[in-house]
Amino acid sequence: MTTAAGLWLTVVASGVFHGLNPAMGWPLAVAAGLMGRGWRDLLGALGLLALGHFLAMAGMLAPFSLLTALLPWARALRIGAALLVIAAGLWLLLRPGHPRFIARIRPTQLALWSFAVATAHGAGLMLVPIYLGICEGRGLDPGHRAAGALIGGDLATAILVSVVHTAAMILTGGLIAVVVEAWLGLRFLSRSWIKLDGVWAACLVLVGAAALALAWPNGP
């Protein structure tokens, strides 16, 4: 139970971290409010950003819910996922910047933009090792559980992880957007906000390394 609680807390913490990162779009919500009808447009933009982020998370986790039925290879699956997350983090560290195709998405397509950015930044990948740990920690007896029921339960868990993570992300980013819109102004961002791309990539590597240590044979 302690391990499960820790994993769910990590889902929330990663959502908060994603919400703090301007790359996930909350400055666009501020801009929508300032250039549009105020709070109404700001909240509408946050809703679209949340939709795109959720679809990116669920789109990454849902395929793994199918693979969890391959119980004899569960450890290999977790190791492979951990290595994939580490590789994504190293790639972002060595190749900083944003993919060019994102710049071709119009500002009016916020949900699509949010989906593309979260996917390109590996936001969903960060959740994969955590999600697999949650699925493995439920203590199911594979000898008494049909594969179809297992897949269904793990798919529901994938959706729930995506919802919890996205809620934490959008609440955090939304709070920052409201504070900037109401009191701080855009000038504050140019002077005070730190660039989190390098921190983001390093966190991917750390999450992958921790998952690899836990999944490795004879690991804790």
SS3 content of the chain, % helix, strand, coil (to 5): 80, 0, 20
Residues 6 or more apart whose Cβ sits within 8 Å of residue 178:
42
Query: What pLDDT does 56 receive?
Result: 95
CA–CA separation, 46 vs 175, rounded Å?
Answer: 10
| pLDDT at residue 216, rounded to an integer | 76
- In a structure prediction context, what are the per-residue pLDDT tens digits for the chain, which is 220 residues long? 457 788 899 999 999 999 988 888 888 898 888 887 778 899 999 999 999 999 999 999 988 877 766 555 667 778 888 899 999 889 888 876 666 656 566 766 889 989 998 998 888 988 988 888 887 765 544 444 444 444 556 788 889 999 999 999 999 999 999 988 888 766 666 665 556 677 878 888 998 898 888 777 655 5
Which has the closest alpha carbon to 51: 5, 3, 101, 117?
Answer: 117
- Supply the pTM of this predicted model: 0.82
Phi/psi region, residue 70 (left: phi>0; alpha: psi -120 to 50; beta: rest), is beta
Q: How many residues does the chain have?
A: 220
Question: Residue 171: which of 39, 16, 11 has the closest Cα?
Answer: 16
Q: Please report, for residues 88, 120, 125, the alpha-carbon distance to residue 96 in angstroms, rounded to integers and kept in the order given.
A: 12, 12, 17
d(CA 155, CA 195): 35
The tokens for 62 are: 């849902």
Beta carbons of 121 and 23 less than 8 angstroms apart: yes
What is the pLDDT at residue 162? 94
Closest CA to 169 of 55, 6, 32: 55
Contact, 11 vs 127, CB < 8 A?
A: yes
Residue 121 to residue 95: CA distance in whole angstroms = 11
Locate the domains of the chain by residue range: 2-215
Cα separation, 83 vs 81, whole angstroms:
5
- Torsion angles phi and psi, residue 140, rounded to 5: -75, 140
pLDDT of residue 164: 96
CB 198 within 8 A of CB 47: no
Place of tokens 């390093």: 202
Residue 210 is predicted with a pLDDT of: 86
Predicted confidence at residue 53, as pLDDT, reads: 96
Contact 19, 176 (CB under 8 A): yes
Distance CA 96, CA 218 (A): 35
